Structure 1
Amino acid sequence: MKILAILVLALLAAMAYVRLSPNDPARWHQPIKGDRSKDFKAGAIRVIPGTEQDFESLQDIALGWPHTRVLAGSVEEGRITYITRTAFWGFPDFTTVERRDGTIALYARLRFGGSDLGVNAKRLDAWLDALAQR
């Protein structure tokens, strides 16, 4: 019984750490390195042709996504970093959207773990699909 109680407490402590640990905007709100779309184990990058209106529309799309809020940046700055949390555990993923000269770059990545199981790429693709439908 004691072992079960210790395991439950450890699980609750891990959940609290994931949900409550600070997320330093200076660490996550950085210029995106890369000029082409790419998937990798811990995230994805998408680079698309885009206008300022597309960039502003992506802001609306991102803020309409479940469990997503702005961590840093603004439309005026030309770079916005969002934090999206998983529903149950609250794992944070960070997505930076950056307006460039004639293109928009999006970079989504995880904070904890070694693999996101393709979740970040799927979110980027869903945001871009929503943009294409506008």
Structure 2
Amino acid sequence: MRMIMLLALGVIVAAFVYVRLAPHDATAVHVQAEPRAPGDYPAAGGFIAVRQITASPEDVLQALTQVAMETDRTEALMGTVDTGMVTFVTRSKVMGFPDYTTVSIIPAGTIDNAGPLLMIEGRLRYGKSDLGVNKARVEGWLAALGPLAVSMDQDMAS
């Protein structure tokens, strides 16, 4: 019985270590989601928000990159403001589970002559449920942008 408990503990520790140290496949996660109209798009294990912007795409991405880099346990994984798309990885506090957030600009005219549009996609790497953390992060980043992105409430009032 003691051997089984030690083996189980070893497996759990190995899983924790793997989650913390597994390399990221940056090219697989640094992709833009399918462009869509402004709105919120919940998904299993993730969340996508698309917003109209009120400043140049470069200024919005620069501001959003600053907001992301000020987020605890977040680092840039791939991309730059100059390329129009940046992917960040944010790790959970206790377990270190990585979540990916890709911010990008949908060029003007791609969706019903709207745009350019800001798209933020947060998604998990492991499991099926993120318990709402990606939605909370995306909404927090949007709130931090202030008037650089049109909120859904402003859009509905127009």
Please tell me the TM-score bracket, short chain as reference.
over 0.9
Structure 1 pair 15–133 and aligned structure 2 pair: CA distance change class (3 A)? farther
CA distance in 2 between counterparts of 1:34 and 1:78 reads: 14
Q: Percent identity?
A: 34
**Greater C-alpha Rg:** 2
Stretch moving more, 61-70 or 101-110: 101-110
Counterpart in 2 of 1:42? 45
Moved over 3 A (4+): none
Q: Which amino acid aligns with 1:131?
A: L
Following TM superposition, by how much is the alpha carbon of 1:3 offset from its aligned partner in structure 2, in angstroms?
A: 2.2
Deviations 1:58-100 (A, max 9, x none): 0000000010001100000000000001111110100000022
Structure 1 position 77 matched with structure 2 position 83: yes
Name the SS of the counterpart of 1:117 in structure 2. coil
CA RMSD across the alignment: 1.4
Following TM superposition, by how much is the alpha carbon of 1:33 offset from its aligned partner in structure 2, in angstroms?
A: 1.1
TM-score, reference length from structure 1: 0.94
Gaps (5+ residues) in structure 1?
none
Trace 1:10-25 onto structure 2 (pairs within 5 A): 10-25=11-26
Trace 1:48-67 onto structure 2 (pairs within 5 A): 48-50=51-53, 51=55, 52=57, 53-67=59-73
Q: Which amino acid aligns with 2:34?
A: K
Name the SS of the counterpart of 2:23 in structure 1. coil
Counterpart in 1 of 2:113? none
CA distance in 1 between counterparts of 2:70 and 2:31 reads: 23
CA distance in 1 between counterparts of 2:86 and 2:42 reads: 20
Gaps (5+ residues) in structure 2?
108-115, 149-158
- Return the match for 1:126 from 140, 145, 150: 140
CA distance in 2 between counterparts of 1:133 and 1:104 reads: 13
- Return the match for 1:109 from 102, 123, 130: 123
TM-score, reference length from structure 2: 0.80
Counterpart in 1 of 2:111? none
Counterpart in 2 of 1:3? 4
Stretch moving more, 6-15 or 47-56: 47-56
CA distance in 2 between counterparts of 1:95 and 1:79 reads: 10
